[in-house]
């Protein structure tokens, strides 16, 4: 079985002002596929000069081009054509995404569909959007939403194309122009955006793309004075660096950061469904998932049974070639990340957790970044595998005595992205869900997201929310225009005749 898709590009370039280009200084970096770690192409490595050219292009398109001035209907039509162009490449997108990220092909295909759906959703939303008006007997104030300008979009490698679409769609729907800086581990599918945008008829300069290393291209984008907005998804520590740097320019920030989400299972839950949900919640997307339910917290009376069933199923999770449709866990994105995840597996054993499944490279996969679905039981809250985001197929399980204990354990983390609760007692389910310090909670359900709902975390998981109208809020400024409805009575300073000058 050949591992390499046909027609892979040998070189991946920037896209600035409607033209594919190399870096100003000619630098490149190599990109490898995680199933073999063999390099297959060179990628333009952007720096401040490339960012400056891309921002200048986006700013010209914003100030002089048609895009911000088009009606929502016209913009929506182009967004739908972007979705058409994505859908017509579904097979290619799935194949390339799976090849470059190591995600199982079946899960990469879902990401391509979701990316198209993001554009359709924001096409609908801007057409349906209304602006508020506030009236008293004396005046009426109406709100105008204005696109802010050039948006800098910085994205991670875990579901790259989908997360790029997630920022691109609302940004351009709002009338902003953009510079996208995709993750350096996974540039392949981002190289399809230029042709997708051109095919859809997006005006020149609205979409610009600069590849490169985070500390170079990403930092230059954040520091650029003509970029008033940064939408960032990635690690919490990177988010902190970006916030510090963006403070100088008082930039608008949307921060979608890391997670270490709890999955609380009560004894009265439908245990079959809870086992399925808790397995999928951490092992889908190779465990490289910001909302992974990576801390499973189980009521003591069913703990032993749950751990035995969970471990038995985890041992059967199929780890294999990313492009094999039977694969459930593929290869982790990069050897550096693989080593980091293996370090956590070692620390779990060293700190005394009980390894009940996985723990190393599966048989039959001698090369590539493969790790068996790994399950630690009897994890205590002082252990690193409980406290730190691993971002791989590794889960920590512990037990609780009562509801208060479950909530305390669930919230015992610096993060607050997602939470999961399984119980047949719905009153308790709502109570525990609302007591969780998390931006999003799923009750008797796994991570299925309605695009209209707010998405975002609390605590160290983020700042601000995107999704639905929240995204439009981020990419636009609200201006209030207040208009007198009758005669205006303004206090008449300086008009009294009895005052000495």
Instruction: Pick the closer one to ligand NAD by CB: 345 or 406.
Output: 345
**Position 152 contacts ligand NAD (CB under 6 A):** no
Q: Which stretch binds ligand NAD (CB under 6 A): 20-28, 135-143, 238-246, 372-380?
A: 238-246
**Position 188 contacts ligand NAD (CB under 6 A):** no
Nearest distance, CB of residue 288 and ligand NAD, angstroms:
7
Q: Which stretch binds ligand NAD (CB under 6 A): 51-59, 122-130, 234-242, 355-363?
A: 234-242
**Position 154 contacts ligand NAD (CB under 6 A):** yes
Nearest distance, CB of residue 275 and ligand NAD, angstroms:
24
- Which parts of 361-472 are beta strand (E)? 374-377, 394-400, 418-422, 440-443, 462-463
**Position 106 contacts ligand NAD (CB under 6 A):** no
**Position 262 contacts ligand NAD (CB under 6 A):** no
**Position 158 contacts ligand NAD (CB under 6 A):** yes
The site string for ligand NAD over 165-184 (x = CB under 6 A, - otherwise) reads ----------------x-xx
Fill in the DSSP letter of residue 455: B
Of residues 342 through 381, those in contact with ligand NAD by CB under 6 A are none
- Using CA atoms, how far residue 319 sits from 110, 361, 364, in Å, is 19, 10, 10
| CA gap 481, 148 in Å, rounded | 17
Fill in the DSSP letter of residue 361: P
Q: Residue 462: which residues within 8 A CB-CB, separation 6 or more?
A: 239, 255, 256, 257, 417, 439, 456
**Position 258 contacts ligand NAD (CB under 6 A):** yes
Instruction: Pick the closer one to ligand NAD by CB: 93 or 418.
Output: 418
| CA gap 154, 168 in Å, rounded | 10
Instruction: Pick the closer one to ligand NAD by CB: 68 or 160.
Output: 160
Q: Which of 54, 169, 264, 290 binds ligand NAD (CB under 6 A)?
A: 290
| CA gap 19, 152 in Å, rounded | 19
Active site residues: 256, 290
Nearest distance, CB of residue 499 and ligand NAD, angstroms:
60
Q: Residue 214: which residues within 8 A CB-CB, separation 6 or more?
A: 154, 181, 183, 184, 234, 238
Nearest distance, CB of residue 193 and ligand NAD, angstroms:
15
Specify the residue for token string 């967004």.
79
Q: Which of 148, 222, 356, 407 binds ligand NAD (CB under 6 A)?
A: 222
- Count of residues near ligand NAD by CB under 6 A: 30
The tokens describing 417, both together, are 């992205």
| CA gap 138, 63 in Å, rounded | 36
- Residue 81: CB atoms within 10 A of its CB come to 18
Instruction: Pick the closer one to ligand NAD by CB: 193 or 306.
Output: 193
Is residue 260 within 8 A of residue 387, CB to CB? The reply is: yes
Q: Which of 218, 287, 393, 468 binds ligand NAD (CB under 6 A)?
A: 218
Of residues 8 through 67, those in contact with ligand NAD by CB under 6 A are none
Q: Which stretch binds ligand NAD (CB under 6 A): 51-59, 137-145, 310-318, 456-464?
A: 456-464
Q: Which of 47, 170, 214, 392 binds ligand NAD (CB under 6 A)?
A: 214
**Position 259 contacts ligand NAD (CB under 6 A):** yes
Nearest distance, CB of residue 159 and ligand NAD, angstroms:
7
The tokens describing 38, both together, are 């063999």
3-state secondary structure of 153: strand
Q: Please name which of 152, 288, 155 lies closest in space to residue 233, comparing C-alpha atoms.
A: 155
Q: Which stretch binds ligand NAD (CB under 6 A): 129-137, 169-177, 338-346, 455-463?
A: 455-463
- Using CA atoms, how far residue 127 sits from 72, 75, 453, in Å, is 6, 9, 18
Nearest distance, CB of residue 461 and ligand NAD, angstroms:
6
The tokens describing 98, both together, are 């799976």
- Using CA atoms, how far residue 433 sits from 131, 273, 443, in Å, is 33, 18, 7
Rg (CA), the chain: 25
**Position 389 contacts ligand NAD (CB under 6 A):** yes
Is residue 111 within 8 A of residue 161, CB to CB? The reply is: yes
**Position 156 contacts ligand NAD (CB under 6 A):** yes
**Position 242 contacts ligand NAD (CB under 6 A):** yes
H or E, element range at 241: helix 236-247
Query: What residue ranges bind ligand NAD (CB under 6 A)?
Result: 154-158, 181, 183-184, 214-215, 218-219, 222, 233-235, 238, 241-242, 256-259, 290, 389, 391, 417, 457, 461-462
């Amino acid at each position: 079985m050949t591992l390499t898709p046909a027609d892979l590009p040998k070189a991946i370039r920037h896209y600035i002002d409607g033209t594919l280009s190399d870096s100003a200084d000619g630098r490149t970096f190599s990109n490898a596929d995680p199933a073999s770690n063999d390099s297959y192409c060179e990628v333009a490595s952007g720096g401040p000069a490339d960012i400056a050219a891309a921002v200048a292009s986006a700013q010209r398109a914003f100030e002089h081009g048609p895009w911000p001035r088009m009606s929502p209907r016209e913009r929506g039509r182009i967004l739908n054509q972007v979705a058409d162009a994505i859908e017509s490449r579904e097979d290619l997108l799935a194949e390339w995404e799976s090849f470059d990220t190591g995600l199982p092909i079946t899960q990469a295909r879902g990401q391509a569909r979701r990316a198209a759906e993001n554009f359709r959703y924001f096409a609908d939303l801007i057409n349906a959007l209304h602006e508020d008006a506030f009236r008293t007997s004396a005046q009426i104030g109406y709100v105008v939403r204005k696109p802010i300008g050039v948006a800098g979009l910085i994205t991670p490698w875990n579901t790259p194309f989908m997360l790029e679409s997630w920022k691109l769609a609302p940004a351009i729907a709002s009338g902003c122009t953009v510079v996208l800086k995709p993750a350096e581990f996974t540039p392949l599918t981002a190289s399809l955006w230029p042709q997708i945008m051109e095919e859809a008829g997006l005006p020149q300069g609205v979409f610009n793309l600069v590849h490169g290393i985070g500390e170079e291209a990403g930092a230059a984008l954040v520091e650029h004075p003509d970029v008033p907005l940064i939408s960032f998804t990635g690690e919490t520590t990177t988010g902190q660096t970006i916030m510090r740097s963006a403070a100088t320019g008082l930039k608008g920030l949307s921060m979608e950061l890391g997670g270490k989400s709890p999955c609380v299972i009560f004894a009265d839950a439908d245990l079959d469904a809870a086992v399925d949900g808790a397995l999928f919640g951490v092992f889908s997307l190779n465990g490289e998932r910001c909302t992974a339910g990576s801390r499973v917290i189980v009521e003591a009376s069913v703990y032993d049974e749950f751990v035995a069933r969970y471990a038995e199923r985890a041992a059967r999770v199929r780890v294999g070639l990313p492009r094999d449709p039977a694969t459930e866990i593929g290869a982790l994105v990069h050897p550096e990340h693989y080593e980091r995840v293996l370090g956590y597996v070692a620390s779990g054993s060293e700190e005394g957790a009980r390894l009940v499944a996985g723990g190393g490279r599966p048989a039959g996969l001698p090369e590539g970044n493969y790790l068996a679905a790994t399950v630690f039981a009897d994890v205590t809250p002082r252990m690193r595998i409980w406290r730190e985001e691993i971002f791989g197929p590794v889960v920590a399980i512990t037990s609780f005595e009562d509801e208060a204990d479950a909530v305390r354990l669930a919230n015992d983390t610096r993060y607050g992205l997602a939470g999961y609760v399984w119980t047949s007692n719905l009153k308790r389910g709502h109570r525990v869900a609302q007591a969780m310090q998390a931006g999003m909670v799923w009750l008797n359900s796994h991570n299925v997201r309605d695009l209209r709902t707010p998405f975002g975390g609390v605590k160290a998981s983020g700042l601000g929310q995107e999704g639905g109208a929240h995204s439009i809020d981020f990419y636009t400024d609200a201006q209030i225009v207040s208009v007198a409805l009758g005669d205006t009575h303004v206090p008449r300073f300086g008009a009294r005749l009895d005052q000495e000058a």
